[in-house]
Structure 1
Amino acid sequence: MITAYTLLRITLGLNILLHGLVRTPKTRYQAFVAAVQTEFKDTLLPGKLVSVVAQSIPLLESIIGLLILTGFCTGLSILAGFALMILLLTAKSIKQDWYTVSLQMIYMLYYTLLQAGLRYNTFSLDALFFHYRQTCLC
């Protein structure tokens, strides 16, 4: 079970990290922010809010992904991932993009599995530095 947990944590962490990193170069970052603003311009969401959130997504994904990938502050990182997914899921629901919402629910399932299996997080930086205990969030 430790191997399965570790592989799931590493693959989700890598996935989320790369979501953020590929949007980090200036031209891609600007294109991403512009695309999000265009996508949500005809929704109830305020344009300024959409802009601020779009600008923060690549950095948040990069940080959350790196922390989950390495297993550092895993519990808090998973909760941060949940929070980001809830934000994204809410926005896509307001837009009525049900296909994307269904894909986001799969990510939520992965986060749920990782949170439920924290006791198997023994091959991680948490275990190395903090002698990880199941009750520890970080």
Structure 2
Amino acid sequence: MSKNTAYFFLRVSMGINLLGHGMVRIAKLQDFASGMMKSFEKSWLPQPFTHTFGMILPFLEFTIGLLLVIGFKTRIANMAGASLILMLLFGSSTIENWEAMGIQMIYAGLFYILISRIEDNYFALDRK
């Protein structure tokens, strides 16, 4: 398999993952944001901040995911995805959710690959 094909499959896989997260959460936005607030009750983060982030997060996931799936603005989408993971890691650390942080570190590693191998992004709208 060529590097271009491998990159395509990794990029689209990450995109589908984030797109799916966003779609499901947008459909039940208020419940998701309320659940996030409940999860962060013991955090030192202000509840209004947590609620606002919970309302915005699904739209960020959806947008980044869609851009990755279609391969448009891929460099920006990868950087946005990696930045989102940093925010999620920070939030998870405030509630000592080490399991979530482990999964988020896998995402960080995958975004590292996508960012560092951007020259392999051949099968994308960016290249047309």
**Does TM, normalized by the shorter one, top 0.5?**
yes
User: Residues 1-138 of structure 1 correspond to what in structure 2 (within 5 A)?
Assistant: 1-25=3-27, 28-128=28-128
Secondary structure at the aligned position of 2:25 is classed as coil
Please, what TM-score do these two structures have when normalized by structure 1? Answer: 0.89
CA distance in 1 between counterparts of 2:26 and 2:52 reads 15
Task: Report runs of 4+ in structure 1 exceeding 4 Å deviation.
Answer: none
Please, what TM-score do these two structures have when normalized by structure 2? Answer: 0.96
Shift of 1:42: 1.6
Give the structure with the larger helix fraction: 2
Superposed CA deviations along residues 62-97 of structure 1, whole A, max 9, x for unmatched, are: 000000111100001101001111111100011111
Shift of 1:43: 1.0
Shift of 1:101: 0.2
In the alignment, what sits opposite 1:135? none
- Identical columns (%): 34
Q: How many residues get paired?
A: 126
CA distance in 1 between counterparts of 2:116 and 2:42 reads 38
**Aligned-partner residue type, residue 11 of structure 1:** S
